[in-house]
A and B are shown apart, each in its own frame.
Chain A
């Protein structure tokens, strides 16, 4: 019985460590998703032929989970609501960001992409999105460094913690 309990503690610690370590990689992947999406939006705006709703819907069909859902909901809101695109983007992020691996600062930057969205000229839209993309690039680099540094260590520490707890209890 004792051995079974010890095994359970080690397995649980390993799982927690694996989950935490995975979240580092997931953050990098999700920042990259938003970067791709915003680059697509920038190019749609530069081309100027599509409405915001059409462009956002196309993005939602192209990018992977979980960011695709955010863009799909945003497109839906754009087609129905009388609110500004900026408010809608902010609302959608608030409602659907709980499942994301992004940090608060990452989300703040992503939210900035909505600032004045759809209300200014092509040049102004492009300039603003470029700025957001640069900030996201920085966040991604930081997230990648963090992943390299902490991912392996988290797994090892959690294993050690599990083993130590099990030994102490035996």
Chain B
């Protein structure tokens, strides 16, 4: 029951409406709550419920998710999401509060997207032979949204940090830079999902800065990072790869060809520092491209 920890946060009327569906359909991925609109559940099979998410429900939900303590969530409000027990993420939208032209907080929260975190242990096993061939290989996972890149990354971290006795893979020092708290689902700095025994997590830290911090302070063997793409990411990645650290990262794109349209990815590819490029699709299939030549499917 991955949604168990979500239940205490839902207002009574919402809970009564969504609870039977959450129980009967474990594939549900998101609960969408929009003030004044019908409750929606999305996943492989979408549901639009007859129950509306009222203004009263909105107020109750905000009190519950903030625990009557907005003052301690300023940073999360600025980022636009909260992480709750179990690693579930609640995306928020309302009225942005601007300070000197940049978003400093959010008020009048009215739209919510509860993303149910589900850990798929073993998701990365089919590609493990390429990821760990006599040591961990630097790999870039390429895939569109909802293709399971983050799930794969989490499982890779778990395998790297715990080891895999069946495949004679030993646990190594693994570091995760989890800018959006999606990989480890940290709550107050503590991972809510299994990311491995020898894994250190730097939560809610900008990727480029976080990578440099982890390289300097935690001496990782494997560095895990999600959704690279900014120019400063390339600099930090290059630093890590030159330091002999195996970097496993993801990027949003439907194919390597599409990813290479971004200058940063092109620059990284040209440097030849990544051993593998793995294209992941929405059907959770994958294609492994080893440096220049295509290898397996």
The chain A residues found within 8 Å of chain B, CB to CB, are 45, 48-53, 78, 81-85, 117-122, 125
Contacts and interface: CB of A to CB of B under 8 A. Distances in A.
Given A82-B64, A83-B63, A118 B12 contact: no
Contacts of A50: 69, 72
A84 B71 contact: no
B60 interface: yes
Most A CB atoms within 10 A — which of B11, B12, B59, B68?
A: B68
A125 B72 CA distance: 11
A49 B59 CA distance: 23
A125 B11 CA distance: 26
Nearest to B64: A82
Contact of B71 (A53, A81, A83, A122): A122
Contact of A82 (B60, B67, B71): B60
Contacts of A48: 71-72, 74
B110 interface: no
Contacts of B12: 82
Contacts of B71: 45, 48, 118, 120-122, 125
Contact of B72 (A51, A78, A119): A51
B70 interface: yes
A52 B64 contact: no
22 contacts: A50-B69, A50-B72, A51-B67, A51-B68, A52-B67, A52-B68, A78-B67, A82-B11, A82-B63, A82-B64, A83-B63, A84-B63, A84-B68, A85-B68, A118-B63, A118-B68, A118-B69, A118-B70, A120-B70, A120-B71, A121-B70, A121-B105
Interface of B: 11-12, 59-60, 62-64, 66-72, 74, 105
Given A48-B74, A118-B68, A119-B66, 19 more contacts: A48-B71, A50-B72, A51-B69, A52-B68, A78-B67, A78-B68, A82-B12, A82-B63, A84-B68, A85-B68, A118-B69, A118-B70, A118-B71, A120-B70, A120-B71, A121-B70, A121-B105, A122-B74, A125-B71
B72 A53 contact: no
Contacts of A53: 67-69
Main secondary structure on chain A at its contact with chain B? loop
Contacts, number: 53
A78 to B, nearest CB: 5
Given A45-B71, A48-B71, A118 B60 contact: no
Contacts of A83: 60, 63
Contacts of A84: 59, 63, 68
Contacts of B62: 119
A45 to B, nearest CB: 5
A87 to B, nearest CB: 10
Closest 5 CB pairs of A and B: A82-B60, A118-B68, A85-B68, A52-B68, A51-B67
Contacts of B72: 48-51
A85 B71 CA distance: 13
A60 B100 CA distance: 40
Nearest to B74: A121
B193 to A, nearest CB: 23
A168 to B, nearest CB: 60
A164 to B, nearest CB: 56
B130 to A, nearest CB: 44
Contacts of A82: 11-12, 59-60, 63-64
B139 to A, nearest CB: 38
A141 B267 CA distance: 71
A48 B63 CA distance: 17
Nearest to B12: A82
A50 B105 CA distance: 19
B69 A52 contact: yes
Nearest to A45: B71
A130 B62 CA distance: 25
